[in-house]
Each structure stands twice: as C-alpha cells, then as structure tokens.
Amino acid sequence: MKRTLASLTLRFGQDVVFARQRARDISELLGFDHSEQIRLATATSEIARNAFRYARSGTVEFLVETEPQATLFIKVGDSGSGIPNLNEILEGRYQSSTGLGKGITGTQRLMDSFEIRTGAEGTTVEMSKLVPKYAPQLTASRIEEIIRKLSQRKPDNPYEEVERQNQELMKTLAELRVRQDELILLNRELEDTNRGVVALYAELDDRADALRRMSDAKTSFLSNMSHEFRTPLNSILSLSQMLLQRMDGDLTPDQEKQIFYIRASAQGLQEMVNDLLDIAKVEAGKVDVKAREFEVEDLFGALRGMLKPILETASVSLVFEELPELPTMFTDEGKISQILRNFISNALKFTERGEVRVSARLEDPQTIAFSVADTGIGIAPENLERVFEEFAQVENKLQRRVQGTGLGLPLSRQLAKLLGGRVELQSELGVGSTFSVHLPIIFAGTDIKEESEIPQLESGRIPVVLIEDNRETAFVISKFLEHTEFQVIPTYDTGRGMEVLDRVKPAAAILDVLVDGEASWETLKRIRTQNIPVITVSVLTGERDKALALGATAFLPKPLSRESLLKTLRSATYRGTIRKLLLIDDHELARYSLRELLGSSKLEILEARSGREGLELAGAEHPDVIFLDLMMPDITGFEVLKELRSADATRGIPVIVHSSQELSDQDLENLRLQSVALLPKGDTAGSGALDRISQALASVGFDLETGERQHA
C-alpha cells in the first residue's frame, strides 16, 4: 500500500523550484546517494515544469511503497488539454521547436518506471525509483519520521536553489573529468595490450610458419630417404634369395640360418620403409584415391585368400563373418584392403589363442563399418591413443616375439581420414581388442555418374547450362546464382552438356575451356551455331583471345567472383539496357546485405568502400541510382552528396541515404531540398525489407522490377 510523504500545488513558477527541492530532500531522507538525488530532483522539476508551462497549474505528490520492495513514487498531474502526438514523443520521433517531448523522453531514461496518461481532461505522469538496498529499512516508524522532518524543512528561496543547482552541476562536471581521465588511462592500457596481442599474433604466425616448414622438410626427408633405402634393400633381398636357392653352391646350416635372418631383417626394414613412404604421401596430399565400384563380399574373399595362408599357429582362427546385405561401395578398394590387412596383421600378432573375427555392417544409409575383433592380450586405457602414434610400441609380454614397425595403425588412421572416414578402438586388458573403420559408401570426392533426367525448369527463371568437369567449381557457380533470376543446370562432360543444351535451349551457356583434360573449342563452336551466348571460364588466362576469336561472348578467369559472373550473364542475356546501382558504404556487412537483397534484380551493383572511392565510381560509371551512407572514415555522406550535386556528370543521379545516424530537423530539411530519399539501415533487415527498398527506389523515380528510371 502506498503512503503519501508530501504534496504541493503548482500555482507559480517558483513552485516548480520547490518541487525540485522537495524531491531532493525526500530522496536524501530515503537513503539515495548524491547522484541519484540529483537525477530524481531533475526528473521531478522537468515534469513539473511541463505541467506548469502547458497547463498553467498542477499538483506534485510524493509517495512510498514498502512491498514487495521499497519504492519512491512521484506523481505529477494537471488539468490541461492533454499532450498531442504522445506516441511519437515516447518513441523519440516527434520534433518540436519548443523542445516539447525531449524532457519527457529524457526523464523516462532517468527513472525505473515511467507511465503517462493524457486526454482532454488533463495529463498524469507517474514515475518511480527503487530505494537502494543499502539504504535503511523503510518501516512505518521511519516513514513517520521522514514526514515529520519534511514538515520542519522550509524550502529555500529560488536564488539559493539556483546556486545549489550550479554547485551540483560543477560537482557533476568534476566527476565527469575524473571519469574522462580514467577512460584515457584505460585506453592507453588497452593500446599497450593491443600492441602486445599484435606482437603475440606475429610470433604465433612465425611459429606456425616454422612448423609448416618443418613439416614440409620432414615429409620431403621421409619421401627421399624412403626411395633411397629401397634400392639397397631390394639388392639385399635379391642376393639373399639367390644364396638361399644355392645358385652359387651349397650352404652350411649356420650360413643358411644367418642368411635367413638377414633376409627377415631386410623384409622388416622394407615394410617400415614402405609404410613411411605411404604416410609421407598421405601427409603431403600426394595420394590419389582411385574410386571404383566393388562389393564388400569380393573384398572379404580377396582378404581371406591373402591372409589365411600366413597363419603361423593352429591355436588362432581367422574368421570372416557371414555378411548381411550391403550396398555396392564406390571408393578406393585397395586402401580399404590395406587398412583391414593392417588391423588383421596386428590382431594376429598379439593373439596367442582364440580367434580374430572380421565383419562388416551397415551403420547408416551412407556408412559401412568394418571391424576386426580379437581375443588377444588387449590394450590398457592409457595406451588406446598411443598405439596410433608413429613408431609407438606398447610394452607387453609378446613384444620380443612380435616386433613391428609401429607404423601400420597410424597409416590406417591416415588412410581412413583420406577416404572421409574414421578409425575407432575398443579394448580391455586380457580380453581382447576391436579395431573398426567407418567409411562412406560413396567417396565424397568422386565424380558420380549423373542422372539422365533434366531438372524441372522453374517458372520465371532463366535457364543456363553449365559444362564444368570439376564438381567443386560447379557447386560454387550454382551457389553464386542460387537466389538470382538464373537457374543453373550443371553437366560434367561435353557430351552430356550438348545433350542438355539441345533439349533445354537455354538463354546462355557457361563452358570450361578444359573438360576432362581436353580443350572444348569444338563444343564452343557447336553451341555458337545455335546462337546461344557462351561464357568461357578457365584457369588458363592465356586462352582468352582464342575463346573470344571462336565466338565466346566473354571469358572469365578462375577463381570466379559472383559479381563478375552475374554481371556478365546479365549482359549476355538481357535485351534491354543494364541499369547500375552504386552502394557507397564503408561497412562490408551493410553492402553485403543490400547486395543479397538486390541479387535477383536486373541491376549491375557497384560498390565503394569510402566516400572518395564512391565519388570516383560515380564519375566513371554514371550509375542510375546511389545508396549513400553518412558516416564514413574519410569524408561524410553529406560531403559526398555536396560534391555529387556540384558536378554536371553526377548532379542528376537519384540518391537514397542509407544510414543508421539520427538526423536533426535541419539535416532532414537539407536532404528534402536536394530530393534525397531516406532509408534507415534498420528498414533493410527483417521481413518486408525488399518491399521497403523498392518503395525507396520508387520515391526517387526508379522501378526495381524493370530496372528503368521513371520520368515525370
């Protein structure tokens, strides 16, 4: 329940001063700090002055409420004719030469709550501020004490109040100076920190570059040394084989044993060299994936025939499980076989008795999981990741008998990653281990045979046939044109491209100069006989002249940019005049948003990152309309507009100010006199943004649908 602390009537101008004094006295007695006392006094006097100024009289009432939290309420009422345009005032959109509305919006920011009711019978403003938690508890007895103290305080005369206000202002200014000094010091500290961070990043870049060089050097060393080792190893193996075959006479039993050990050591070293070379190739990205169709059943049959004969003991069984129904795979069968051979070989080495079981299952519609489970010695939890490190050896009781290179498992993980899969390991000491590799059924980088059906043509979109053998490039081009007026029909060889072109009769074709390693000049000639514009693309920039000489409409170097591709396509297919729209804005995100919104329009969009660059582009390109930001680092939008209007070449170009800056009445009037439209940046976000852009363009006589200037 609210309790009244004090009230007064506004009959004369000095009563507004008394209301301010009373607000400060009450806030002081309630325990507000000095700065909050000034805010409450200022808010009270501002609303009281409005009541006296516009209604010539009013009342001010101060109340408190203890539940649920101690709160001070200030209620100001009058019997005037009400406040017109209240909603515009509260939203900050109302402009008044007398300052009406600014006091209300300013007071609203000073208080915790602010409610205003107005009508023909008058206006009531009720605002509140929570009593600080550090203030003394507001009990009934304390409220009575505050009321008593207020009744004993006589208001100061207006001159004393003005003097006090001046003192408060001086104190506030002093506090602001201290805050400003603190901010300057903080900015200096931040600058020092930024310099340190920049230096740290530079050092990290140097370290990263050094690590890359070391990695390249390691890969180069491993590759070169592996090749160098192979020649002498092959010689050792060949010579030892000759000796074991008694080609130069008989051997004593000891000599035969010695040569056998030499040959076994050379074979182990050769295995390590081969694994090292494979790892170096994978890390350097020099391993080609030779994808082809195969059945998992055939893969298992080959592994069974290859590995069963090498079993050294009858105490271990190699079991290939009966396969469920699995789809045909399209990936590198040889590399999957190599992974599984490494798994099986590793399992056989560390399994004294029991079995090694090989299986495969469909994990999901796109993935097959291959597993090799054994009943061997198992691996301790702390070593589960270590076994995938190069040259790592885990100490165990079989270590002396089954020496390995320590490269098979790391190579298997690298190969699985190359094929787009992953390797997993589950193991328990004394029970056994299960190595599994999860691989996509279709290798992601594979050129899969395309469908014979042509996609449904979309109404209102312009068909464009793309002939490009690189699927990544084809995907990028399709994404570039996804939300434009063009519908891309991708094909991946010239034969299929011509077939689709004959059936669709597109408005244009995009042709790679090299398709499957062959020049596509004959395809270019065939397309041109049908009078279809052809845009040729290639990484071979030297082919430009030949492409244009053979009838290409344009030549674009790879990598392509969306803007140049879209501009060239529109120029090749549009029968009217291409209209230009210039965006002058230093914010990349703002330009990107507008560019995306206008992507489907028949406009060539030019961009400038600064005011000076915008003026140069406007003079050189003569755009049909300009979107202009006002806040830019080199010169302001107002200066850009002034120079545009002072030059004969750009004087008549319609301009739309696209800015988030709040404009004064004078700024708005100046823009209106120069026939400049206004489109706040907030209007180009959310639903209906394109409609608002279209309306802004229409207001300066530009039709977004046709791309034409409308003349009165």
Which CATH number is 625's domain given? 3.40.50.2300
Query: Do 397 and 356 reside in the same domain of the chain?
Result: yes
**449 within a domain of the structure (yes/no):** no
Give the residue-averaged pLDDT of 46-60.
88
Q: Which residue carries 């600014």 as its tokens?
A: 102
Query: Do 266 and 316 reside in the same domain of the chain?
Result: no
Q: What's the pLDDT at 712?
A: 38
Reported as a single tens digit per residue, the pLDDT across 303-312 is: 887 776 666 5
Give the count of beta carbons closer than 10 Å to the beta carbon of residue 534: 26
pLDDT above 80: residue 642: yes
Chosen domain end from 545, 573, 601: 573
Indicate the range of 222-236, 311-325, 645-659, 662-676 predicted with least confidence: 222-236
What average pLDDT is seen over the chain? 81
62, burial (CB in 10 Å: exposed 0-12, middle 13-18, buried 19+):
buried
Query: Do 54 and 109 reside in the same domain of the chain?
Result: yes
Phi, psi of 399 (to 5 degrees): -60, -40
Give the residue-averaged pLDDT of 130-141.
89
**166 within a domain of the structure (yes/no):** no
What is d(CA 493, CA 595) in angstroms, rounded to the nearest whole number? Answer: 33
pLDDT above 50: residue 53: yes
DSSP 30-97: HT--HHHHHHHHHHHHHHHHHHHHHHS-EEEEEEEE-SSS-EEEEEEEE-SS--TTHHHHHTT----T
Q: What's the pLDDT at 304?
A: 80
What is d(CA 401, CA 379) in angstroms, rounded to the nearest whole number? Answer: 17
Q: In what order do the strands lie in the sheet with 316-320?
A: 316-320, 354-364, 367-374, 432-440, 422-428
Query: Do 107 and 141 reside in the same domain of the chain?
Result: yes
**230 within a domain of the structure (yes/no):** yes
Q: What's the pLDDT at 691?
A: 80
Chosen domain end from 238, 272, 287: 287
Reported as a single tens digit per residue, the pLDDT across 654-707 is: 899 988 887 888 888 888 888 788 888 877 766 678 888 888 888 877 776 655
Name which residue leads in pLDDT, 269 or 439: 439
Q: Which residue carries 């498992």 as its tokens?
A: 409
Name which residue leads in pLDDT, 268 or 44: 44
Q: In what order do the strands lie in the sheet with 486-491?
A: 486-491, 462-467, 508-512, 534-538, 554-557
Reported as a single tens digit per residue, the pLDDT across 607-631 is: 999 999 999 999 988 888 899 998 8
Strand partners, 119: 122
What value, to the nearest 5°, has the Cα angle with vertex 520 and ends 517 and 523? 145
Query: Do 567 and 664 reside in the same domain of the chain?
Result: no
Q: At 449, is the pLDDT very low, low, confident or very high (cuts 50, 70, 90)?
A: very low
Q: What percent of the chain has pLDDT over 70?
A: 81
Q: What's the pLDDT at 174?
A: 73
Q: What's the pLDDT at 310?
A: 60
Q: How many CA atoms lie within 13 A of 180 on its CB side?
A: 6
Name which residue leads in pLDDT, 13 or 47: 47
Provide the token pair at 204: 């990290």
Query: Do 305 and 435 reside in the same domain of the chain?
Result: yes
Q: Is the dihedral of CA 34, 37, 39, 41 positive or negative?
A: negative
Contact 573, 533 (CB under 8 A): yes
Give the residue-averaged pLDDT of 184-204.
79
DSSP 463-519: EEEEE-S-HHHHHHHHHHTTTSSEEEEEESSHHHHHHHHHHH--SEEEEESEETTEE
Give the residue-averaged pLDDT of 275-297.
70
CATH number of the domain enclosing 226: 1.10.287.130
Q: What's the pLDDT at 151?
A: 85
Give the residue-averaged pLDDT of 367-392.
82
Residues 6 or more apart whose CB falls under 8 angstroms from that of 426 comprise: 433, 434, 436
Query: Do 435 and 296 reside in the same domain of the chain?
Result: yes
190, burial (CB in 10 Å: exposed 0-12, middle 13-18, buried 19+):
exposed
Q: What's the pLDDT at 588?
A: 83
Name which residue leads in pLDDT, 268 or 662: 662
Reported as a single tens digit per residue, the pLDDT across 549-592 is: 888 999 998 878 887 888 888 888 876 566 788 999 988 878 87
**172 within a domain of the structure (yes/no):** no
Provide the token pair at 60: 């001010």
Give the residue-averaged pLDDT of 7-18.
87
Provide the token pair at 509: 């074709």
Query: Do 633 and 705 reside in the same domain of the chain?
Result: yes
**126 within a domain of the structure (yes/no):** yes
Q: At 448, is the pLDDT very low, low, confident or very high (cuts 50, 70, 90)?
A: very low
Reported as a single tens digit per residue, the pLDDT across 57-87 is: 899 999 999 888 899 999 999 988 888 777 7
What is d(CA 400, CA 405) in angstroms, rounded to the nearest whole number? Answer: 13
Q: What's the pLDDT at 611?
A: 92
Query: Do 345 and 313 reside in the same domain of the chain?
Result: yes
Chosen domain end from 573, 605, 623: 573
**Which residue, 55, 165, 180, 65, is CA-closest to 119?**
55
Reported as a single tens digit per residue, the pLDDT across 400-438 is: 454 555 567 888 888 888 888 999 999 888 889 999 999
Query: Do 346 and 400 reside in the same domain of the chain?
Result: yes
**173 within a domain of the structure (yes/no):** no
Q: How many CA atoms lie within 13 A of 67 on its CB side?
A: 2
Phi-psi region of 552 (alpha: psi -120 to 50; beta: other; left: phi over 0): beta
Q: What's the pLDDT at 286?
A: 57
**445 within a domain of the structure (yes/no):** no
**177 within a domain of the structure (yes/no):** no
CATH number of the domain enclosing 315: 3.30.565.10
Query: Do 270 and 344 reside in the same domain of the chain?
Result: no
Name which residue leads in pLDDT, 224 or 198: 198
Quote the domain boundaries for residue 39: 2-155
What is d(CA 258, CA 243) in angstroms, rounded to the nearest whole number? Answer: 11
Domain count, the chain: 5
Query: Do 413 and 466 reside in the same domain of the chain?
Result: no
